[in-house]
């Protein structure tokens, strides 16, 4: 029988994916990640979706990769199975904006999953960390690469080497999360942000996402050139004509997402 490890819902132009394995604090087993990947693919192909929210439960966004599932892994299980690849890369390659809404623990693979999204909004109870070292392993889904880009080498190195955690307030101060909200209003607040993004022109939002990501993948000169070309391309959009006309006519724009 298939476990329902995620719940996918549509709220207007926002797709919400809720991680739903509370008995193990949303430990990220392959089945859960496969289901999440399939939901992302559906939202990607649905022209009615302009932004996605990835949210966990009250006590955990996700407490990491499933330790019980990994415990007896051999090298060849991980290598031949391409562990943490098939069903993880779909987050990195997802083209529409995706927000991680983190309440409770975001540890190990959970922290990595949140960082793979475009930005994180955290409840004031959120706890972030890369404690893999405590279970005799290291981060394997981008933790050693993304965390230093967010919070700098000293803090990233300290978190990964000590296994210590970081509170929501510390994570906000360090630049890991975009902002922190009261835990009880996290879902509503994130949905409001996602609705706002989804109300803008989808191709423009996608272009912005590509440009910002370029800042991490390319030297400044290449990133600037990429941005300029995207900027030029935006003049091919009917949404650009509508957005500017609406501003000058002092009315709300009606974007067609084209």
Look up 74 and say whether it is catalytic. no
Look up 109 and say whether it is catalytic. yes
Q: Is 24 in the site for ligand CO8 (CB under 6 A)?
A: yes
Q: Is 63 in the site for ligand CO8 (CB under 6 A)?
A: yes
Look up 132 and say whether it is catalytic. yes
Choosing from 15, 123, 139, 187, the residue that interacts with ligand CO8 (CB under 6 A) is 139
Count of residues touching ligand CO8 (by CB under 6 A)? 24
For residue 183, the Cα-to-chain-centroid distance in whole angstroms is 18
Burial class (CB in 10 A: 0-12, 13-18, 19+), 62: buried
Non-local (6+) Cβ contacts of 133 within 8 A are 160, 161, 162, 163
Q: Is 64 in the site for ligand CO8 (CB under 6 A)?
A: yes
| Full strand arrangement of the beta sheet holding 179-181 | 6-11, 14-19, 51-55, 98-102, 119-123, 179-181
Do β-strands 105-107 and 127-129 pair in parallel, antiparallel, or remain unpaired? parallel
Contacts with ligand CO8 in 86-105 (CB under 6 A)? Answer: 105
Q: How far apart are CA 192 and CA 185, in angstroms?
A: 11
Catalytic residue among 27, 39, 123, 132: 132
Which of 176, 227, 201 lies closest to 96, judged by CA?
201
Q: Is 118 in the site for ligand CO8 (CB under 6 A)?
A: no
**51 torsion bin: left (phi>0), alpha (psi -120 to 50), beta (else):** beta
Catalytic residue among 50, 64, 104, 109: 109
Closest approach of ligand CO8 to the CB of residue 138, in Å: 8
Please check whether residue 239 is in contact with residue 201, taking contact to mean a CB–CB distance below 8 angstroms: yes
Contacts with ligand CO8 in 221-250 (CB under 6 A)? Answer: none
- For ligand CO8, which is the closer residue by CB, 27 or 205? 27
- For ligand CO8, which is the closer residue by CB, 6 or 191? 6
Choosing from 135, 161, 192, 236, the residue that interacts with ligand CO8 (CB under 6 A) is 135
Q: Is 37 in the site for ligand CO8 (CB under 6 A)?
A: no
Q: What is the DSSP letter of 251?
A: S
What positions carry a catalytic annotation? 65, 109, 112, 132
Residues that bind ligand CO8 (CB under 6 A): 24-25, 27-28, 63-68, 84, 105, 107-109, 112, 131-132, 134-135, 137, 139-141
């Amino acid at each position: 029988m298939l476990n329902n490890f995620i719940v996918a819902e549509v709220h207007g132009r926002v797709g919400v994916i809720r991680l739903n394995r509370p008995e193990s604090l949303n430990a990220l087993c392959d089945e859960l990640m496969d289901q999440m990947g399939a939901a992302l693919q559906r939202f990607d192909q649905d022209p009615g979706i302009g932004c996605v929210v990835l949210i966990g439960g009250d006590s955990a966004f996700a407490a990491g990769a499933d330790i019980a599932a990994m415990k007896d892994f051999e090298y060849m299980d991980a290598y031949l199975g391409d562990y943490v690849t098939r069903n993880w890369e779909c987050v990195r390659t997802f083209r529409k904006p995706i927000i991680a809404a983190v309440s409770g623990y975001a540890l190990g693979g959970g922290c990595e999953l949140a960082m793979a999204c475009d930005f994180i909004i955290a409840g004031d109870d959120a706890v972030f960390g890369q404690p893999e070292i405590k279970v005799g392993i290291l981060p394997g889904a981008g933790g050693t690469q993304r965390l230093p880009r967010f919070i700098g080498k000293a803090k990233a190195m300290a978190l990964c080497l000590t296994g210590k955690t970081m509170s929501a307030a510390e994570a906000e101060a360090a630049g890991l999360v975009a902002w922190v909200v009261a835990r009880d209003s996290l879902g509503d607040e994130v949905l409001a942000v996602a609705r706002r993004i989804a109300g803008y022109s989808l191709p423009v939002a996608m272009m912005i996402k590509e440009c910002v990501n370029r800042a991490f993948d390319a030297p400044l000169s290449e990133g600037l050139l990429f941005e300029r070309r995207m900027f030029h391309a935006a003049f091919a959009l009917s949404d650009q004509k509508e957005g500017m006309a609406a501003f000058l006519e002092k009315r709300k724009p009606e974007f067609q997402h084209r």
